């Protein structure tokens, strides 16, 4: 019998954002308690890269693919692995950090659990977050040809304390040179309850016309 777990955070008004620059606004439009016919709400995201969300090539490439340009089946991952790399401060995760970890060769979705989500709700979550090193993209691309996406439990590919390297890392993963294969990124995930024996992961993006990135609901079956 299958079980399911949510690997994305619920959008709330106190949802943290990269650089603490953007907000989620939720307000009541109508209320049954107020004597109106139905409950309805207004949801405003001041940036489409807030909360648990996916980055695709258009985020860092003028002609890169958007979320709507991929077949819907590409958002289903049959081979997924969670790896543990505990981190509690700003740093860059690079190839050396993965060399001693056994990763299945047919991996499609790699989830990096650092435990940094324990600081979600504190300024440190956006100010002192880990990030991914630019050279990690080619390292993964060369060793795991089936890899299509990486996800992690911190706020961005870019560490706020290493923004120059973060911009390079975004490009290296999403818009590589020499026609390299793009690797999506799912930022600000909830991985504390992610099981080791994941069978299937569904990433459900909010489909919008200019989908350079968007909020996602991530469900794992185990």
Domain assignments of the chain as residue spans, ordered by start: 4-10+47-221
| C-alpha to C-alpha distance for 17 and 184, rounded to whole angstroms | 19
pTM (2 d.p.): 0.96
Q: What is the reported pLDDT for 47?
A: 97
Average pLDDT by stretches of 10, the chain with 222 residues: 93 97 97 98 97 98 97 98 98 97 98 98 98 98 98 98 98 93 98 96 96 97 97
Q: Which two tokens stand for residue 155?
A: 């706020």
In CATH, what number does 4-10+47-221 get? Answer: 3.50.30.50
Q: Which two tokens stand for residue 221?
A: 């079956």
Q: What is the reported pLDDT for 2?
A: 82
Place of tokens 């956006």: 126
In three-state secondary structure terms, 80 is strand
Q: Which has the closest alpha carbon to 177: 151, 201, 141? A: 141
| C-alpha to C-alpha distance for 63 and 139, rounded to whole angstroms | 25
| C-alpha to C-alpha distance for 171 and 184, rounded to whole angstroms | 11
CA atoms within 13 A on the CB side of 29: 9
Q: What is the reported pLDDT for 110?
A: 98
CA atoms within 13 A on the CB side of 26: 9
Judge whether 79 and 109 are in contact, CB under 8 Å.
yes
Q: What is the reported pLDDT for 39?
A: 98
Q: What is the reported pLDDT for 179?
A: 82
| C-alpha to C-alpha distance for 19 and 49, rounded to whole angstroms | 11
Q: What is the reported pLDDT for 170?
A: 98
Q: What is the reported pLDDT for 178?
A: 82
> DSSP strand E in 137-197: where?
149-152, 184-187
Q: What is the reported pLDDT for 166?
A: 98
Q: What is the distance of C-alpha 49 from the center of its chain? A: 9
Q: What is the reported pLDDT for 96?
A: 98
């Amino acid at each position: 019998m299958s079980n399911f777990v949510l690997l994305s955070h619920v959008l709330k008004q106190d949802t943290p954002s990269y650089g603490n620059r953007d907000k989620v606004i939720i307000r009541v439009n109508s209320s049954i308690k107020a004597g109106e016919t139905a409950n309805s709400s207004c949801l405003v995201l001041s940036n489409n890269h807030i909360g648990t969300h996916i980055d695709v090539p258009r985020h860092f490439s003028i002609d890169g693919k958007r979320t709507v340009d991929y077949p819907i089946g590409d958002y289903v991952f049959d081979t997924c692995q969670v790896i543990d790399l505990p981190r509690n401060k700003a740093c860059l995760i690079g190839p050396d950090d993965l060399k001693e970890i056994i990763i299945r060769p047919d991996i499609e979705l790699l989830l990096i659990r650092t435990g940094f989500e324990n600081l979600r709700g504190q300024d440190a979550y956006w100010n002192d977050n880990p990030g991914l090193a630019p050279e990690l993209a080619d390292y993964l691309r060369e060793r795991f040809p089936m890899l299509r996406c990486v996800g992690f439990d911190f706020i961005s590919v870019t560490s706020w304390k290493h923004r120059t390297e973060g911009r390079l890392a975004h490009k290296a993963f999403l818009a590589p040179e020499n026609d390299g294969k793009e690797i999506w990124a799912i930022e600000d995930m909830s991985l504390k309850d992610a099981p080791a024996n994941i069978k299937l992961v569904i990433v459900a993006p909010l489909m919008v016309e200019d989908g350079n990135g968007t909020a996602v609901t991530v469900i794992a079956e185990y």
